[in-house]
């Protein structure tokens, strides 16, 4: 069942994004940032954890999960360090994703060339 | 009110098209004189590639028409790069008077019309007109650099990498340049940079109706009416506009629709760019040279799009020019 949920969850997000992309003047940059914002809102309301429990990987591989990790780190920071913890802990979980992206892009840029 | 100029003894002596590799796969490939293996024409940058293509076209054209540099009085033309840098880089070594033009994708028709005006006024005996565009240069300038790898929309047009150059002469040959209608700038109240074909359709409509009115002719009188780069979307809009006026746009084609193989998904809505109608001119030239097309109306359509003004939420102004050719065999 979780496989079906994962498929539907990711598929719906992609479908929605494609409809927005085809019918508005928004660029892919606009759409991904909007998805990050939506993820942050869902996560702050406590809904994103529930979506992950239903859909598993279908929710965690999406860009919305990145903002969920940011919010999750901030919440923990708030609990152990107070208000300052929001800033110091924001990258606790998402740091791994960020450093992976940065290093992989760096390595790719050394060997790869853009195609069109 | 757009003006119309009639010419007495102005002839089109020769035409040459030089293109990149994508155009070579299109249906018109047999009419091009030379195709490079890539858009950069084996140079390091797209701009250098464009300069190389212009130079190649110039050399081939002089060879074809058996003229030398001294015979050409003046060069009219331009490309889509900022400050026409590709053209200036190309012509810096060539000792011929040069007038750089920018009229977006209608540059070729404007250059042809102005060259014909110079010949008609007997200022020079031979003039060269050309237009060039390059995919990489235009994408960086008007949309996003290719390296950014943005997803394209279905209405997007692909800028042609190619150069079309012609010699306009006072010496009699088979194709006569008859008249030239200079269009007005029309504000489209539209600012979608992904659908420039639709933006330009109205200005094409305006210049065609104005040309027909000024020359007292009808659509049926022409064997072929060609628009520059309205693409599949824009040409459908244009057909619809004439239908509303109870005129049937017969013998009409858009060079953007024809230049690429539209079954290839990467060509989106078709070709565009200053080079689009300029390389399509090869087809028209060979057909008129053999007398298969007697009377032809060419409409260059240009979206005067600037990235700065679009970011400042301004609409895209458009302009179109028309030139009428006749076969005199």
For A38-58, write each residue's pLDDT tens digit. Answer: 999 999 999 999 999 999 888
CA gyration radius for chain B?
A: 18
Kindly state the average pLDDT of the residues A86-106: 91
pLDDT at B191 (0 to 100):
77
HSE on the CB side for B15, CA within 13 Å?
A: 26
Cβ-defined contact of B149 to A116 (cutoff 8 Å): yes
Integer Cα distance of B113 and B20 in angstroms: 26
pLDDT at B147 (0 to 100):
80
* CA distance, residue B207 to nearest chain A CA (Å): 29
Integer Cα distance of B102 and B88 in angstroms: 13
pLDDT at B2 (0 to 100):
87
Identify which of A22, A27, A114 has the shortest CB distance to residue B146: A114
Identify which of A21, A28, A116 has the shortest CB distance to residue B146: A116
Identify which of A25, A28, A116 has the shortest CB distance to residue B151: A28
DSSP B28-79: TGGG-SEE-SSTTTTSSSHHHHHHHHHHHHHHHHHHHHT--GGG--EEEEE-
Identify which of A22, A25, A28 has the shortest CB distance to residue B192: A25
Measure the CA dihedral B195/B196/B201/B207, to 10°.
Answer: 180
> Where do we find the tokens 């009229």?
B103
pTM of the model: 0.89
Nearest CA in chain A to B39: A116
Q: Which residues of A touch B313 (CB under 8 A)?
A: none
Q: Does B147 touch chain A (CB under 8 A)?
A: yes
Q: Does B151 touch chain A (CB under 8 A)?
A: yes
Q: Which residues of B touch A25 (CB under 8 A)?
A: 192, 194
Averages of pLDDT over each 10 residues, chain B, 329 residues: 91 95 90 92 92 95 94 95 94 94 95 96 96 93 84 87 96 95 88 84 93 93 93 91 90 92 85 93 94 94 90 91 93
* CA distance, residue B158 to nearest chain A CA (Å): 12
Interface test with B, best of A25, A29, A31 (most B CBs within 10 A): A25
Instruction: Judge contact between B69 and B94, C-beta under 8 A.
Output: yes
Q: Does A28 touch chain B (CB under 8 A)?
A: yes
| Residue A116 reports pLDDT greater than 60 | no
Cβ-defined contact of B154 to A25 (cutoff 8 Å): no
pLDDT at B146 (0 to 100):
83
Instruction: Judge contact between B143 and B158, C-beta under 8 A.
Output: no
Measure the CA dihedral B222/B31/B141/B96, to 10°.
Answer: -90
Q: Which residues of A touch B154 (CB under 8 A)?
A: 22
pLDDT band at residue A115 using 50, 70 and 90 as cut-offs: low
């Amino acid at each position: 069942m979780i496989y079906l949920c994962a498929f539907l969850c990711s598929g719906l997000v992609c479908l929605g994004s494609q409809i927005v992309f085809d019918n508005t003047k928004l660029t892919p940059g606009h759409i991904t940032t909007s998805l990050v914002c939506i993820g942050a809102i869902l996560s702050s309301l406590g809904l994103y954890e529930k979506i992950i429990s239903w859909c598993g990987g279908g929710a965690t591989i999406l860009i919305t999960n990145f903002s969920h990790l940011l919010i999750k780190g901030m919440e923990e920071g708030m609990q152990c360090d107070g208000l300052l913890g929001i800033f110091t802990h924001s990258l606790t979980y998402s740091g791994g994703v960020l450093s992976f992206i940065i290093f992989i892009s760096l390595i790719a840029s050394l060997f790869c060339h853009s195609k069109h | 009110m757009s003006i119309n100029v009639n010419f007495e003894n102005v002839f089109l002596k020769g035409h040459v098209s030089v293109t990149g590799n994508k155009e070579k796969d299109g249906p018109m490939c047999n009419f091009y004189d030379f195709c490079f293996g890539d858009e950069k024409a084996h140079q390091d940058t797209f701009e250098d590639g464009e300069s190389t293509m212009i130079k190649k076209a110039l050399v081939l054209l002089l060879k074809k028409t058996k003229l030398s540099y001294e015979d050409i009085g003046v060069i009219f033309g331009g490309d889509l790069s900022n400050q026409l840098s590709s053209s200036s880089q190309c012509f810096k070594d060539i000792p011929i008077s040069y007038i750089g033009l920018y009229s977006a994708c209608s540059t070729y028709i404007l250059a042809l019309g102005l060259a014909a005006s110079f010949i008609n006024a007997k200022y020079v005996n031979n003039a060269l007109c050309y237009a060039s565009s390059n995919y990489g240069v235009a994408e960086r300038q008007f949309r996003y650099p290719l390296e950014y790898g943005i997803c394209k929309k279905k209405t997007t047009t692909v800028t042609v990498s190619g150069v079309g150059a012609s010699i306009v002469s006072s010496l009699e040959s088979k194709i006569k340049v008859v008249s030239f209608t200079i269009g007005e700038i029309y504000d489209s109240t539209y600012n979608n940079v992904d659908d420039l074909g639709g933006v330009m359709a109205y200005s094409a409509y305006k210049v065609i109706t104005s040309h027909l009115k000024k020359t007292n002719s009808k659509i049926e009188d022409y064997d072929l009416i060609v628009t520059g780069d309205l693409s599949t979307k824009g040409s459908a809009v244009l057909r619809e506009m004439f239908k509303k006026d109870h005129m049937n746009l017969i013998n009409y084609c858009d060079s953007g629709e024809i230049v690429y193989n539209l079954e290839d998904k990467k060509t989106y809505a078709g070709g565009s760019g200053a080079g689009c109608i300029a390389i399509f001119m090869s087809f028209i030239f060979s057909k008129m040279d053999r007398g298969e097309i007697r009377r032809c109306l060419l409409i260059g359509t240009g979206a005067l799009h600037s990235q700065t003004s679009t970011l400042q939420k301004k609409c895209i102004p458009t302009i179109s020019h028309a030139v009428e050719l006749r076969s005199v065999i």
